[in-house]
Amino acid sequence: MLYRKWGTEKDPVLWYTSSYQDDTEILEQVKLVMKAHVVELFLSGYISREACRILIQGINAFKEIGKNYEDIHEALEDHLLKFAGDFGGMVGFGRSRNDHVATALRLKMREELISLLEELLQLRGTLIRRAQDETTTLFPSFTHFQPAQPTSFGHYLLYVEEELAQRWEMIFSALRLVNRSPLGSGAVVGTSVALNREREANILGFEGVITNTISATSSRADLISASMEVGVLMLVLSRVAEDLILLSSKLTNIIQLPDEHVSTSSLMPQKRNAVTMEILRAKTSEVLGALMTLSSIYKSLPSGYNLDLQEMNPEYWAILSEARKAVYILHDLLSKLRVRDPKLDVETLSTDEAESRVKGDVSYRTAYFEVAKSLREGSFRPSLTFEDSLARKAVKGSPNPSKMRESIMEVKNRLETHERVLNEYKNLILKGIGELRSMEDDILQEGS
């Protein structure tokens, strides 16, 4: 213990309130934030180059969090006091655990969101490529999980891609909100130490600063918002998983899942259970539970830092971890599944048949009732085929093969735009971090 001088290492209050185990998730980010703080103290004239060099060496030497500390921040500062002597005593100057943990959390969330966005881009690319190959592969569509109208498997895949593209844009927007720096805000109202917050933000690759120091140190709204957007992504993935479970059942027998995504029964050897998709559904519920935990902890906290915020941290990483695994698993499955002969119900051509009869004095409702009567009597005989049904679709975004080709060109362009935007944003982040690394190298080399 460094800050709290009462009690002992066996004090139940310490082990009850300590976050040292959970803090291992942000160890590297905390070290990076401390480097930015030390470099800023040097650039602002508060410590010497020699002190800065030794402190950076000490930060690099910090490898693990001892269990007798309240958190990683206390452990790191105590390590620097022991490593650097009097120089170590300066790292607390103009610094609070409140602004440092807020900054580290945003760095971690930034990394997690970028990784998720990259994996979504890969999945979407696979969906587009398969959609091109499956433009004319007949496939059922459903409403109320009753057969609706004929479509193509490529059309279904482009539906999934569009859902993911929209979620990608929302998560990227959340990333930009997250990528703002709280550093230099102290405990709640800033500090009398004249730190250059914009410079600190720049060398950590942030897009800017969170201006108000109360918000900077105690708000978690951006992290919650990002987590919720990831939660909506999981809702989308879970619906797709549900489709794949139902359509791969022998009751429908429309698709065949890859062998590695199914499991048999210990008693019934004929079973091909869609186990990976079942787990994805369950994990979505866990993510929703984590979102409820975040909301429930956060909703009643007074402004300013409260230790309750510490208990939210594991939930962020659980949500992001499950989302990334879900995207990976779904990507693997969708790249390998096979569409069987769907044996489409001829009655699903009834809408096309009614539309084809509209002419002159025959309104759609008249044609509709005529077709409905033939369906009831069992005499329905359509004048067109399933392929005709696709080809007759006249609206943008439909399964008409020519409309599909137009859609594929559009979604390809959108995907390329998203890839370019993300790469440009990553480069901006890397440029800032690169400046910090360059300064670190210069300072370390001078003392070698």
* Residues identified as active-site: 144, 265
Among 240, 226, 257, 254, smallest CA distance to 123 is for 240
Q: Which two tokens stand for residue 427?
A: 């480069």
Query: Are residues 154 and 411 in contact, defined by beta-carbon separation less than 8 angstroms?
Result: no
Q: Which helix (H) or strand (E) holds 434?
A: helix 401-446
* Rounded-to-integer distance, Cα 237 and Cα 332, Å: 13
Structure token digits, residue 198? 């914009």
Is 213:128 a contact under the CB 8 Å cutoff? no
Cα angle 173-178-180, degrees, rounded to a multiple of 5: 115
Contact status, residue 338 vs residue 256, Cβ threshold 8 Å: yes
Cβ neighbors of 373 (< 8 A, separation 6 or more) are none
Those residues with Cβ within 8 angstroms of residue 325's Cβ, 6 or more apart along the chain or in another chain: 283
Give residues with Cβ within 8 angstroms of 255, minimum separation 6: 244, 247, 248, 337, 338, 339, 340
The string of DSSP codes covering 248-293 is HSTTT--EE--GGG-B--SS-TT--B-HHHHHHHHHHHHHHHHHHH
First-residue to last-residue Cα distance in the chain: 33
- Cβ count near 338 (within 10 Å): 9
Answer yes or no: are the C-beta atoms of 301 and 309 closer than 8 Å.
yes
H or E element at residue 406:
helix 401-446
- CA–CA dist 264, 271 (Å, integer): 5
- Who contacts 410 (Cβ-Cβ below 8 Å, separation ≥6)? none
Distances (CA, A) of 379 to 301, 330, 346, 374: 67, 42, 12, 5
